[in-house]
C-alpha cells in the first residue's frame, strides 16, 4: 500500500484549472505506475487495460493506492484501487511486459 | 491549422499543463489531429536522475491525447474558462496500449475520433504516432461534463 499526498503547491494546479484546481484524472494512473514500477525491473508499462474514475482529486487529498501484482505468461498485470478516505477514487489495471520497446 | 492562442480559446487547460501545441486537421464532430512536441526542458524531467530512462510519463502522454479529445468535443462550443462553463472529466478509459515509449525530441501526432457525443458526455477513440510509428492506442475514452459547483470538495476540506 502506498500513500500519496496531492500537494496543493504543485504547479499543475495553476493550469488545471485557473480558479478551480483539480488533478487531471490520468495523473492518478501515473501515481499507480510510480507506486509499482520499481518493483518490476526489466519490464515496461505496455497497456492500460481499463480505468474507472469515480471521484475527482483535489489539492490536499491523500490518496491510498492498493495494488495487486499478478504474473502471467506475458508479463505482469497490476490491479490497483485508489481511494481518498472512505471514497474510492479510481480502479486501474495496468500491464507490464518485458523486452525492447 | 491553429496554434497555442487559438487552442486556449477552445479549452481551459493552461501552462504548465497545456499539452497540445497545434491542431493540424479537424472535421468538427468527427475527428481531429493535433501535435505535441516533447522537450527535455519539460518540468517532468527536472527531478529525474541523469541516468534514468527519459521516457515521457504515460500520465502526461494520456493527458495530451485527452486534451486533443476535449478540443474536438469543444470545437464548436468553446470552453476556455471552467468557472463560466462546465468541466470535462475523464470517467473511464479502456484498451490503451503503449507500443513504444516517447522521448524528448519526439513530436507526437494525436488522432482523435468522436465515437459518440451526448449532451453531457462523449466517447472518443484514437491513436498517436511519432514519425508514423504508433506510440499510443486508445480503444475507448469516456468523459463527462460537470458544473464546478457540484464538484467542489466536501465541506471542511480546504483546497
Domain A2-97 has CATH 3.20.20.100: no
Q: pLDDT category, B154, cuts 50, 70, 90?
A: low
Task: State pTM to two decimals.
Answer: 0.95
Residue B27 has which C-alpha cell? 472535421
B5: phi then psi, degrees, rounded to nearest 5 = -65, -45
Over residues B23-52, the pLDDT tens digits come to 999 999 999 999 999 999 999 999 899 999
pLDDT of B141: 98
Q: What's the sign of the alpha-carbon dihedral B44, B50, B52, B56?
A: positive
Could you tell me which residues come within 8 angstroms of residue A19 by beta carbon, excluding any fewer than 6 positions away? B81, B82, B83
- The candidate with the shortest Cα–Cα distance to A67, out of A23, A35, A44, is A35
Q: What's the sign of the alpha-carbon dihedral B87, B91, B97, B100?
A: positive
On whether ipTM exceeds 0.85, the answer is yes
N residues, chain B? 159
CA atoms within 13 A on the CB side of A43: 22
Over residues B2-23, the pLDDT tens digits come to 999 999 999 999 999 999 999 9
Phi-psi group of A75: left, alpha or beta (phi > 0 → left; psi -120 to 50 → alpha; rest → beta):
left
Residues of B in contact with A29 (CB under 8 A): 58-59, 62
User: Based on the number of CB atoms within 10 Å of its own CB, is B94 exposed (0-12), middle (13-18) or buried (19 or more)?
Assistant: middle
CA distance B24 to chain A (A): 23
pLDDT of B158: 45
- SS3 for B8? helix
Interface subset of A 56-95, CB within 8 angstroms of B:
56, 58-60
Residues of B in contact with A47 (CB under 8 A): 95-98
The pLDDT of B103-118, averaged and rounded, is 97
pLDDT of B156: 45
Angle made by CA atoms B159, B18, A51, in degrees to the nearest 5:
70
pLDDT of A75: 94
**Residue to test with chain A: of B92, B135, B156, most A Cβ within 10 A:** B92
Over residues B58-92, the pLDDT tens digits come to 999 999 999 999 999 999 999 999 999 899 999 99
Look at B136 and A98; give whichever has higher pLDDT: B136
Q: pLDDT category, B157, cuts 50, 70, 90?
A: very low
Over residues A59-71, the pLDDT tens digits come to 999 999 999 999 9
Q: Which of B57, B93, B157 has the CB atom closest to A51's CB atom?
A: B93
pLDDT of A73: 85
* Domains (range + CATH), chain B: 4-151 (3.10.129.10)
Residues of A in contact with B83 (CB under 8 A): 19-20
CB contact under 8 A, A33 and B82: no
CA A39 – CA A36 distance, rounded (Å): 5
The pLDDT of B136-150, averaged and rounded, is 93
Do residues B47 and B115 lie in contact, with contact meaning Cβ atoms separated by under 8 Å?
no
What are the residue ranges spanned by the domains of chain A?
A: 2-97
| A33 annotated active-site | no
Could you tell me which residues come within 8 angstroms of residue B156 by beta carbon, excluding any fewer than 6 positions away? none
Amino acid at each position: 500500500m502506498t500513500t500519496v499526498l496531492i500537494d496543493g503547491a504543485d504547479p499543475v494546479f495553476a493550469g488545471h484549472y485557473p480558479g478551480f484546481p483539480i488533478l487531471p484524472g490520468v495523473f492518478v494512473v501515473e501515481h499507480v505506475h510510480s507506486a509499482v514500477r520499481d518493483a518490476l525491473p526489466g519490464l515496461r508499462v505496455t497497456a492500460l487495460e481499463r480505468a474507472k474514475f469515480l471521484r475527482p482529486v483535489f489539492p490536499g487529498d491523500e490518496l491510498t493506492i492498493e495494488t495487486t501484482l499478478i504474473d502471467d505468461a506475458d508479463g505482469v498485470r497490476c490491479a490497483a484501487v485508489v481511494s481518498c478516505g472512505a471514497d474510492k477514487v479510481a480502479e486501474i489495471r495496468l500491464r507490464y511486459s518485458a523486452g525492447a520497446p | 491549422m491553429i496554434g497555442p492562442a487559438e487552442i486556449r480559446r477552445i479549452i481551459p487547460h493552461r501552462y504548465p499543463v497545456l499539452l497540445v501545441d497545434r491542431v493540424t486537421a479537424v472535421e468538427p464532430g468527427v475527428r481531429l489531429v493535433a501535435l505535441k512536441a516533447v522537450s527535455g526542458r519539460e518540468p517532468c524531467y527536472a527531478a529525474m536522475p541523469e541516468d534514468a530512462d527519459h521516457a515521457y510519463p504515460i500520465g502526461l502522454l494520456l493527458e495530451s491525447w485527452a486534451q486533443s479529445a476535449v478540443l474536438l468535443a469543444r470545437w464548436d462550443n468553446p470552453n476556455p474558462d471552467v468557472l463560466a462553463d462546465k468541466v470535462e472529466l475523464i470517467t473511464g478509459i479502456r484498451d490503451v496500449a503503449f507500443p513504444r515509449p516517447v522521448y524528448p525530441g519526439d513530436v507526437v501526432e494525436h488522432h482523435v475520433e468522436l465515437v459518440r457525443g451526448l449532451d453531457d458526455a462523449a466517447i472518443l477513440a484514437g491513436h498517436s504516432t511519432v514519425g508514423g510509428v504508433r506510440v499510443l492506442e486508445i480503444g475507448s475514452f469516456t468523459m463527462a461534463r460537470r458544473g464546478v459547483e457540484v464538484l467542489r470538495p466536501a465541506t471542511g476540506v480546504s483546497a
